[in-house]
Amino acid sequence: MLFRLTDEQLMIQSMVREFSRKVVAPTAAERDRTKEFPADNLKQMAKLGLLGMMVPPEYGGEGADTISYVLALSEIAYSCASTAVVMSVHNSIVCESILRFGTEEQKKKYLTKLTAGKMIGAFGLTEPEAGSDPVSQTTTAIRDGDFYIINGTKRFTTTGKNSHLVIVTAKTDDAQRHRGISAFILEKGLPGFKVGHMEDKMGLRASDTTDLIFDNCRVPAENLLGQEGDGFKLAMTALDSGRIGIAAQSIGVAQAALDAAIRYAKERSQFGQKIVKFQGLRWMIADMATELEAARQLTMSAAAMKDQKTRFTRQASMAKLFASEMVNRVTGKAIQIHGGYGFTKDYDVERYYRDARVFTIYEGTSEIQRVVISNQLLKDTRSP
């Protein structure tokens, strides 16, 4: 499928590209070193409408389509993957979950603050003993009058420390297995809700990843998101959208690595000529560009299906699987083209390589994506 971007989509891409290069890129390497959360980036992104892109205007959003979102997210990831992952979780998982499952009161109360950047959102699903198998989670939510009492620990929560609002899944009926999982909106500051250990990560270092600890945390019953038992469905729906977001981030980082490799190859001389003249290196660049374009087309296809309101679970997993594996290959080749310099922090490709590594892991590992894809194919009699 050939995607012809509309004038509006091209305008969004151009606007975000300029912002990304001028505002986000200059501080990316320093943030990677210091692990400083990109709060100032996010404030400016909120003013540009990037923190509620797919939220309808009545709740303060831009009402943009998924293709526009993919274009914007890729441009942010091009400059700073740490900023992009915060944007992705905030938009794809938090805002979309409240928009899809929330009551009118919840939408008015939370979406307007999220889109304005007054709140940054996070999502608590993974636990110490429940990663790829969310049904094994042990966090519980027991009804007590007008409240739920939540106990448990969430792990690897993106923006766990710097978020203001977290959607948390917990078991309300253990006997029902996945149908006994519910979801709740928790604001920071609730008694019994604290941030635990913060991970010291290989990449995405300016994006905090933490434990969230709930010790008899009393949550108003009105903060139940959807109905009791909707939590698993909510999480799986959110991850479909989130996987398009991971694919978009992968495209952005891979494009940055490819551009950096081409620039370096044109500048570096060996054996009396620029290394870009060597056929072996030119073929590496050709392979990098081809894989990147294939990932872009897969991602745009999934985004288009989402915009058309057709089932896109398989396409989202395909895009996430291929794009996340692709960016690891492309960043690795970019380092190879840089030679010894690529192994130093003097060149951005070293950061791209570290940032890209987690893309095959979070929001569903590559192995889980293959499970999703094969399950979808084998139960769909229309598939080849």
Show which residues are catalytic. Answer: 363
Rg over CA atoms, the chain: 21
Match 């434990």 to its residue by tokens: 211
Name the nearest CA neighbour of 190 among 158, 157, 151, 227. Answer: 151
CB 167 within 8 A of CB 123: yes
Match 């519980």 to its residue by tokens: 140
| Bridge partners, residue 214, by sequence | 152, 193
Gap between the Cα atoms of 190 and 212, Å rounded? 12
φ/ψ region of 380 (left if φ > 0, alpha if ψ in -120 to 50, else beta) reads: beta
In angstroms, the Cα distances linking 138 to 14, 174, 178, 224 are 45, 9, 12, 18
Gap between the Cα atoms of 152 and 137, Å rounded? 9
Q: Can you list the positions of beta strands (E) in 132-241? A: 140-144, 147-158, 165-171, 181-187, 193-198, 209-220, 224-225
Gap between the Cα atoms of 112 and 57, Å rounded? 9
Kind of pairing, strands 165-171 and 121-124? parallel
CB 77 within 8 A of CB 20: no
Tell me the backbone φ, ψ of residue 361, rounded to 5 degrees: -115, -55
Gap between the Cα atoms of 73 and 75, Å rounded? 5
H or E stretch at 287: helix 279-307
Tell me the backbone φ, ψ of residue 141, rounded to 5 degrees: -135, 110
Match 């106990």 to its residue by tokens: 151
